[in-house]
């Protein structure tokens, strides 16, 4: 078997398709598999290596599909299993890999497993979810808090016990300490691999296991009170447990060469990324490390060096469906330099839909909010809907997403940045992103090379990428004043520019050293 083909994910760029907002073909205001199939040529022309598709499985949609009620089917709102097969075949014909979301930490409370588990303490699936008795005063088993607000325990009148939910009460946690549940998850993985998927993105993979002793989490040391009390605890016992590691190895045995990409959300994200991708665990992992409010060259340098140990492989993202878009977080004037930086980092990378266009965060009115976190904490926390609004295909009121009213409103500020407005403009963010993706494919050092920091501070970063005799210097200026280049290699410019030994504000220079 071709080793290079087996390792297609190493250094690859995945394009995250937020399916519900990508392209609607059946006029119900929600994106669907047929719509994605129609747009695959656009993604192939962009130059990404594959697509990551957010959940399309049957769901009550309390959390936009991350509350699954059937792991082996397609929700009719998104299409059919045959349409998924056709999509996968077309993607492969265009040399695009297909990665799908899998949510194994929790299910919907409408899943037949949970209905059976909650019916009786003696049911065949009684131990498939995390159940615990109340304390003597009737209070929950411990102090764990839920990500979307409130305590992480919900009372079941049927079982007269509490069940754990790290997110919504409608998202009960599966008990992955139970070997039967692990076996079922592995069988679900085989089901989708048999349908031709090339990889799985594992939602909140560090939430798979909890502390069996149900110990209380200690308080976090915070300078300011957060809007969500969830962040007032150190998450020592409800996630990122060492008991998780053997299960990850079982998953890898089933996956083989088909990629397993973990999402990591915890207090020690970079350390966990390295831990989860060492040895025969997962292939790669990404975290929220670069999805926060601060752009800092020092932080980026330290994180890449720490996560990219010799036997582990990280994945990086600057945007996704859970955080404000990078053009709004870090400034629209930095769109191109951020595209270049992301595509020069060691590891694999994820490009979120619309990031290639430089789309800013949408302003979703309160009456149109869908995100349960936004609804609960408005106006102190605006939630995730602003990153999930319809994709901008055309400069029209509906953005070419749908002929019907979208499940979220189209953002008027996105219309002049639509694909139709940028596709033939060589100076556009879209053209720039396409060029950078091409450069990453053509320069082995950028895709696979080692990472060595030359200089890093708040407003900039310079590093070498080296692989198999090729050395590429990557120097970035995030600031609003010119920046001196610390090194001028005797070679050729690959992208960007420098003049008089300086890089312009919000710009970069990538140069290959002479052999």
Give me the active site residues, please: 203, 263
Q: Which is nearest to 32 in space by CA: 418, 398, 414, 390?
A: 390
Residue with tokens 């769109």: 335
Concatenated DSSP letters of 209-254: ---TT-PPPPBP--SS--SSGGGGB--SSSSS-TTHHHHHHHHHHH
CA distance 480 to 334: 10
Please provide residue 509's backbone torsions phi and psi, each rounded to the nearest 5 degrees: -145, 130
Instruction: Please report the DSSP string for 341-356 in residue order.
Output: HHTTSSSEEEEETTGG
- Phi, psi for 367 (deg, rounded to 5): -70, -15
The rounded radius of gyration (Å) of the Cα atoms in the chain is 23
> If 0-12 CB within 10 Å is exposed, 13-18 middle and 19+ buried, where does residue 393 land?
buried
Contact 143, 132 (CB under 8 A): no
Looking at the DSSP bridge assignments, the partners of residue 100 are: 53, 200
Which residue, chain included where needed, has tokens 């407005």? 421
**CA distances for 334 relative to 168, 207, 255, 356, angstroms:** 36, 34, 38, 12
Contact 334, 318 (CB under 8 A): no
List the 161-164 sheet strands across, edge first. 131-132, 161-164, 153-156
Question: Residue 311 — φ and ψ, nearest 5°?
Answer: -110, 25
What's the burial of 64, exposed, middle or buried (CB within 10 Å: 0-12/13-18/19+)? buried
Q: To which residue do tokens 């409800």 refer?
A: 238
**Which burial class, exposed, middle or buried, applies to 334 when counting CB atoms under 10 A from its CB (0-12, 13-18, 19+)?**
buried
- Please name the residue that has the structure tokens 């615990």: 132
Query: What are the tokens at 503?
Result: 């890089």
């Amino acid at each position: 078997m071709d080793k290079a083909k087996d390792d297609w994910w190493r250094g690859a760029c995945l394009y995250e398709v937020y399916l519900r907002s990508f392209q609607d073909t059946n006029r119900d205001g929600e994106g669907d598999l047929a719509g994605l199939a129609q747009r695959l040529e656009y993604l192939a022309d962009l130059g990404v290596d594959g697509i990551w598709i957010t959940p399309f499985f049957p769901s009550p949609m309390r959390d936009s599909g991350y509350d699954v009620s059937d792991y082996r089917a397609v929700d009719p709102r998104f299409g059919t299993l045959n349409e998924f097969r056709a999509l996968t075949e077309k993607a492969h014909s265009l040399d695009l890999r297909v990665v799908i979301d899998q949510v194994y930490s929790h299910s919907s409370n409408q899943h037949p497993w949970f209905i059976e588990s909650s019916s009786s303490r003696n049911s065949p699936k009684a131990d498939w979810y995390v159940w615990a008795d109340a304390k003597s005063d009737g209070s929950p088993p411990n102090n764990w808090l839920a990500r979307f607000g409130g305590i992480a325990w919900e009372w079941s009148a049927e079982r007269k016990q509490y069940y754990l939910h790290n997110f919504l009460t409608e998202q009960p946690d599966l008990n992955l300490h139970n070997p039967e549940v692990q076996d079922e998850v592995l069988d679900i993985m085989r089901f989708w691999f048999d349908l031709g998927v090339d990889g799985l993105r594992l939602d909140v993979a560090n939430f798979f296991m909890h502390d069996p002793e149900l110990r209380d989490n200690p308080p976090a040391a915070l300078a300011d009170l957060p809007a969500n009390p969830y962040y007032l605890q150190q998450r020592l016992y409800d996630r990122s447990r060492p008991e998780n590691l053997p299960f990850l190895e079982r998953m890898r045995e089933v996956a083989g060469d088909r990629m397993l990409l973990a999402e990591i959300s915890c207090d020690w994200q970079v350390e966990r990324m390295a831990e989860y991708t060492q040895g025969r665990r997962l292939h790669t992992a990404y975290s929220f490390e670069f999805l926060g409010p601060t752009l800092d060259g020092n932080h980026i340098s330290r994180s890449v060096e720490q996560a990219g140990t010799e036997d582990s492989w990280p994945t990086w993202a600057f945007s996704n469906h859970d955080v404000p878009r990078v053009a709004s977080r870090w400034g629209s004037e930095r769109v191109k330099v951020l595209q270049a930086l992301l595509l020069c980092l060691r590891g694999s990378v994820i490009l979120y839909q619309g990031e290639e266009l430089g789309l800013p965060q949408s302003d979703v009115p309160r009456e149109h909010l869908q995100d349960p976190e936004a609804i609960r904490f408005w106006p102190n926390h605006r939630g995730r809907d602003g990153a999930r609004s319809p994709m901008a295909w055309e400069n029209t009121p509906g953005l070419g997403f749908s002929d019907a009213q979208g499940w979220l409103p189209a953002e008027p500020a996105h219309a002049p940045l639509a694909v139709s407005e940028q596709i033939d403009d060589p100076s556009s963010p879209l053209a720039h992103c396409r060029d950078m993706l091409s450069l990453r494919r053509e320069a082995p050092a950028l895709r696979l090379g080692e990472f060595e920091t030359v200089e890093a501070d708040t407003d900039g970063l310079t590093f070498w990428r080296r692989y198999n005799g090729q050395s590429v210097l990557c120097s970035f200026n995030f600031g609003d004043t010119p920046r001196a280049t610390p090194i001028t290699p005797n070679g050729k410019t690959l992208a960007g520019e420098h003049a008089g030994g300086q890089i312009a504000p919000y710009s970069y220079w990538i140069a290959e050293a002479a052999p």
